[in-house]
Chains A and B, each alone.
Chain A
Amino acid sequence: MSSVDALIEGLAGVGYIASRRIATALYMAVHLQKPILVEGSAGVGKTELALSTAALLGLPLIRMQCYEGLDESKALYEWKYGKQLLYTQILKDRMGAQLADAVDMDAAMDRLHGMGDLFFSEPFLEPRPLMKALQEDDGCVLLIDEIDKSDEAFEAFLLEVLSAYQVSIPELGVLKAKTPPIVFLTSNNVRDLGDALKRRCLHLHIPLPDAALERKIVASRVPGIEAKLTHELVAFVQSLRTLDLRKSPSISETVDWARALILLNAESLDGEVVRDSLNVLLKFEQDIAAVEPQIVELIRRPLV
Chain B
Amino acid sequence: MQGAMEDFLRALRAADVKVSPVEAIDAHLTVAMVGFADRELFKDALCATLAKTADEVDRFDETFETFFARETFQMEPPPQGADGEPEAMPPEVAGSELAQMLLNGDVSALAQAMEAAAERAQVSSIRLSTQRSRLTRKMLEEMGLAEIEQIIAAAKKLEDARSQALVGRLEAGKKALTEEAQRYVDRQHELYASESGKNLREELLARKALNAEGGIDPQDLAMMQALVKKMAKRLADRYSRRRNRARRGHLDVRRTLRRSMAYGGLPFEIVWKTQKVEKPNIVAICDVSKSVAAAAQFLLTFLYSLNEVVDRMEAFAFSGRMISVNDLLDDNKVETAILEVLKKIGFQQTDYGKSLEDFCEQHLDQIDRHTTVIFLGDARSNYADPRIDLFATIQKRCRAMIWLNPEPESYWGQGDSVMHRYERFCHVAKPCNTLAQLERIIEDVLRTYVPH
Contacts and interface: CB of A to CB of B under 8 A. Distances in A.
A200 B25 CA distance: 12
Given A69-B246, A85-B268, A191-B237, A28 B40 contact: no
Given A39-B53, A69-B246, A199-B23, A21 B33 contact: no
A283 interface: no
Main secondary structure of the interface of B (DSSP, over half): helix
A245 interface: no
Interface stretch (A118-126, A201-209, A233-241): A201-209
A289 interface: no
A27 B248 CA distance: 41
B447 interface: no
A244 B40 CA distance: 32
A30 to B, nearest CB: 11
Interface in A190-238: 190-192, 195, 198-205
A28 B49 contact: yes
Nearest to A84: B268
A199 B54 contact: no
Contact of A21 (B47, B54, B240): B47
Contact of B268 (A32, A69, A82): A82
A151 interface: yes
Contacts of B48: 21, 24-25, 28-29, 36, 202-204
Contacts of A201: 52
Contacts, number: 81
Contact of A32 (B30, B51, B52, B56): B30
A68 interface: yes
A46 interface: no
Contact of B242 (A29, A151, A192, A200): A151
Interface in B229-266: 237, 240-244, 246, 248, 263, 266
Interface in A8-58: 20-21, 24-25, 27-29, 31-32, 34, 36-37, 39
Contact of B241 (A36, A68, A202): A68
B392 interface: no
B243 A68 contact: yes
What's the interface size class on A, roughly? 20 to 34
Contacts of A4: 41
A39 B54 contact: yes
B216 interface: no
Interface residues of B, number: 35
Contacts of B26: 32, 34
A20 B49 contact: no
Nearest to A81: B268
Given A32-B30, A203-B53, A195 B18 contact: yes
A2 to B, nearest CB: 12
A256 interface: no
B161 interface: no
Contact of B52 (A24, A27, A203): A203
A286 B83 CA distance: 77
A201 B18 CA distance: 14
B44 interface: yes
Interface string B97-139: 0000000000000000000000000000000000000000000
Interface of B: 18, 20, 22-23, 26, 29-30, 33-34, 40-41, 44-45, 47-49, 51-54, 56-57, 237, 240-244, 246, 248, 263, 266, 268-270
12 contacts: A21-B44, A28-B49, A32-B29, A37-B52, A68-B243, A81-B269, A192-B237, A198-B52, A199-B52, A203-B51, A203-B52, A204-B48
